[in-house]
Amino acid sequence: MPDDLADLLDMAVYKEIASQALYIAAQDKTQDPAARALMKELAEEELKHSRLAGALKERGLAKRDWHPKPVPNLKISEYLTGPDTLTGAGLQETLIFAMKREQESVEFYSQMMSVMRGEDAKHLCERLVHEELKHKLKLELFYDSLFYQED
């Protein structure tokens, strides 16, 4: 496995573990049961992602055609301000925080794609961007269903 690809997978594992730890810790910082449940679900998803990235590093990337479907970007989080911490956050603040965190991951992997040399590493970055966009969309749709009020 080329060094840049191995380094990228190490960074991906680290980012996912850090996100998982953040979401686990956040469960104790809120009294809102819905926010706690969301944090638990997000922590579990991040654990799955870190395991997947670790497994990819161990066995390598499979050469497969990958034709991603476009992921809509509702850009809800881009227009909202939210907390920098989850201490005492309710469900709405928790969703905003999580959406912004997913957007940060999209931006990180997009930037990594531009600096990676190998095609496998660039392709992996593209896939990671796609996955993070799907997570963000899921959170934005949930936020929209709960907090958007039609007049």
pLDDT of 132 > 70? The answer is yes
SS (H, E, C) 63-102: CCCCCCCCCCCCCCHHHCCCCCCCCCCCHHHHHHHHHHHH
**Cβ contact 67:135 at 8 Å:** no
CA 124 → CA 24, 34, 81, 114, 128, distances in Å? 27, 33, 31, 12, 6
3-61+74-145 — its CATH code? 1.20.1260.10
pLDDT of 107 > 90? The answer is yes
Instruction: Express each pLDDT in 3-43 by its tens digit.
Output: 777 888 888 889 889 989 988 988 888 888 888 888 898 89
3-state secondary structure of 16: helix
Q: What is the DSSP letter of 118?
A: S
Domain ranges of the chain: 3-61+74-145
pLDDT (average), residues 135-144: 90
pLDDT at 151: 54
Instruction: Express each pLDDT in 48-104 by its tens digit.
Output: 888 888 887 777 766 556 677 899 989 998 999 988 888 888 889 989 999 999 999
pLDDT (average), residues 108-128: 85
pLDDT at 86: 82
pLDDT (average), residues 93-122: 88
